[in-house]
Chain A
Amino acid sequence: MQDDPPVPGGVAVVVDARGSHCPGALMELIVALKHARRGEFLLVLADDPGSAREIPEWLAKVGQRHVSTRSEQGVLHIMVEKTRG
């Protein structure tokens, strides 16, 4: 078992989207990122496999940073840095 990567200042917001089919993890992240501060790190917990592809894809479109993705006991841990806005 690995840990989430250490990030400067620690994780500011945990977006716990486990069990969320609607609105779903990406929608939860969109809201959280909008209200986060630049330089903050957000950790998304999701258990729908689609998020592994969808979240980095959207982050690339809006120019925010996908730090890492790992899976632990069926739960995706997706680390995101708010780099702009």
Chain B
Amino acid sequence: MRIMIVGAGIGGTILANRLARLLAPELQRGEVDVVVLSASPRHLYQPGLLHLALGQTTVDALYRDQRTLLDPRIALLIDEVVAFAPDSKQVRGASGNAYSYDWLVIATGSRVTPEEVPGLAENAHGFYTEAAALRLAQALQAFDGGRVVVTTGVPHKCPMAPLELTFLLQDLFVRRGIAPRVDLLYTYPIGRLHSIEAVAEWARIEFARRGIRSATYFNIAAVDGATRTVHSEEGLSVDYDLLIAIPPHRGADAIERSGLGPRGWVPTHRRLLTMQGRDDVFVLGDTTNLPVSKAGSTARFQAEVIAANLASRVRGGGDTHGYDGKVLCFIETSRDRATYAAFNYAEPPRPHAPSRAMHMAKTFYHRLYWSSLRGFP
């Protein structure tokens, strides 16, 4: 029996390592094998991209060899999946190879698609890819004042990123002594500063205190590089000297092309995390179509559920666990303070005042990133 996990990001890696432990006897006896198939031999620590853009870290600190992050009992194959064929229980790689499975887990994450908005790719800075973060780092270094506009497309991963970027930018401008010459404007797609009301309310007070301006109900419609203007769907136009965007996202191209889900989001059972209509395919992390935050913690909690259910299935049982919509997000509010929000389908997030202790917890959590991929409870 073969369990095939496509994608070795947070979700795929944690799931594989948990399965290695849960299925130790079966792996030992050769009754089951767990194969991770991923496009890249390197694992990127994505939250580090923000710090790369702000000039606080270097590229080499963000990557590790994927093989070293996986339990030795897990097979790792490097191939980009170009087609999913669930009817024949196969996936096909860019190499031309076809791979068969008994159970498939799709954990291919999400990617930015700035090309969906006219002018965005050409004129906006970003930090969601290594190349974009490096370009932004250079632009920020050269920046000496003017209007900075932060804008956010939907859907996007890491819901805290827009606010986090804005606070850290303001911090950077203060430290460089250019804050009086900077007009920092934060825009957001809905009618408040963040989807979570408590976070939005707290951000409103912080913005007032720090002199950060904002425009809500702002969905990027187009960017005009010649006049340096960004236009919203709601009819607002603002000028910028430096535009930083979190572009809209899609799931993997192969998902869309194989007809598994529009724009690469796979229709997913909200509790069992199986693909709708496919009992032998699980969906993990950013690539589900569930209305939950696309975040590392989401993938982590979902991996626990899928690991337990796959282990049970290998032993002839049924699904014993369900995903309750759990998400946990940290938010860095300055260089030395942080807060967090935890919630699930039933329980809305509750506010917590930013504190130094939470900053320490977040720092610790990030330091622990690589070892947390081992997937220990």
CA distance A18 to B291 in the complex (A): 8
CA distance A24 to B327 in the complex (A): 13
The number of residues on chain A lying at the interface, defined by a beta carbon within 8 Å of a beta carbon of chain B, is 23
Asked if B234 and A23 make an inter-chain contact with CB atoms under 8 angstroms apart, the answer reads: no
Q: Flag the segment in A3-11, A27-35, A65-73, A75-83 that touches B.
A: A27-35
Asked if A58 and B190 make an inter-chain contact with CB atoms under 8 angstroms apart, the answer reads: yes
CA distance A30 to B292 in the complex (A): 15
Asked if A20 and B292 make an inter-chain contact with CB atoms under 8 angstroms apart, the answer reads: yes
The A/B interface has a contact count, at CB < 8 Å, of: 72
Contact of A27 among B195, B262, B270, B344 (CB under 8 A): B195
Specify which chain A residues have a CB less than 8 angstroms from the CB of B327 in the assembled complex: 22
Specify which chain B residues have a CB less than 8 angstroms from the CB of A35 in the assembled complex: 262-263
- Cβ distance A63 to chain B, nearest Cβ, rounded Å: 9
Give chain A interface residues in 1-53, CB to chain B under 8 Å: 16-28, 30-31, 35, 48, 50
- Cβ distance A41 to chain B, nearest Cβ, rounded Å: 17
Asked if A22 and B191 make an inter-chain contact with CB atoms under 8 angstroms apart, the answer reads: no
Asked if B349 and A27 make an inter-chain contact with CB atoms under 8 angstroms apart, the answer reads: no
Asked if B217 and A22 make an inter-chain contact with CB atoms under 8 angstroms apart, the answer reads: no
User: Contacts A19-B325, A19-B345; is A54 near B291 (CB within 8 Å)?
Assistant: no
Specify which chain A residues have a CB less than 8 angstroms from the CB of B329 in the assembled complex: 22
- Cβ distance A83 to chain B, nearest Cβ, rounded Å: 14
CA distance A17 to B195 in the complex (A): 13
Check B159 for interface membership: any CB of A closer than 8 A: yes
Check B146 for interface membership: any CB of A closer than 8 A: no
Contact of A30 among B189, B197, B325 (CB under 8 A): B189
Specify which chain A residues have a CB less than 8 angstroms from the CB of B59 in the assembled complex: none
- Cβ distance B318 to chain A, nearest Cβ, rounded Å: 24
Q: Count chain A CB atoms within 10 A of each CB in B155, B159, B219 and give the residue with the most.
A: B219
Asked if B263 and A24 make an inter-chain contact with CB atoms under 8 angstroms apart, the answer reads: no
- Cβ distance A21 to chain B, nearest Cβ, rounded Å: 5
Contact of B195 among A16, A22, A62 (CB under 8 A): A22
Asked if A62 and B291 make an inter-chain contact with CB atoms under 8 angstroms apart, the answer reads: no
- Cβ distance B109 to chain A, nearest Cβ, rounded Å: 17
Specify which chain B residues have a CB less than 8 angstroms from the CB of A27 in the assembled complex: 154-155, 189-190, 195
Give chain B interface residues in 321-377, CB to chain A under 8 Å: 325, 327, 329, 341, 343-346, 348-349
Q: Using CB atoms, name the residue of chain A closest to B194.
A: A22
Asked if B154 and A21 make an inter-chain contact with CB atoms under 8 angstroms apart, the answer reads: no
Asked if B154 and A30 make an inter-chain contact with CB atoms under 8 angstroms apart, the answer reads: yes
Q: Using CB atoms, name the residue of chain B closest to A64.
A: B233
Specify which chain A residues have a CB less than 8 angstroms from the CB of B292 in the assembled complex: 20, 22
Q: Count chain A CB atoms within 10 A of each CB in B159, B190, B248, B346 and give the residue with the most.
A: B190
Residues of A bordering B, CB below 8 Å: 16-28, 30-31, 35, 48, 50, 54, 57-58, 61-62
Enumerate the 9 nearest inter-chain pairs by beta-carbon distance, A residue then B residue, closest first. Answer: A19-B345, A20-B291, A22-B195, A24-B195, A61-B234, A17-B291, A21-B343, A22-B293, A26-B190
Q: Known A-B contacts: A18-B291, A30-B154, A61-B235. Give 14 more (CB < 8 A).
A: A17-B291, A20-B292, A21-B196, A21-B349, A22-B292, A22-B327, A23-B155, A26-B189, A26-B190, A27-B190, A28-B291, A30-B219, A50-B197, A58-B217
Residues of B bordering A, CB below 8 Å: 154-155, 159, 189-191, 194-197, 217, 219, 233-235, 248, 262-263, 270, 291-293, 325, 327, 329, 341, 343-346, 348-349
Instruction: Give 25 CB contacts A-B under 8 Å.
Output: A16-B291, A18-B291, A19-B270, A19-B345, A20-B292, A21-B196, A22-B159, A22-B194, A22-B293, A22-B327, A23-B155, A23-B159, A23-B291, A23-B293, A24-B190, A24-B195, A27-B154, A27-B155, A27-B195, A28-B291, A30-B190, A54-B190, A58-B190, A58-B191, A58-B234
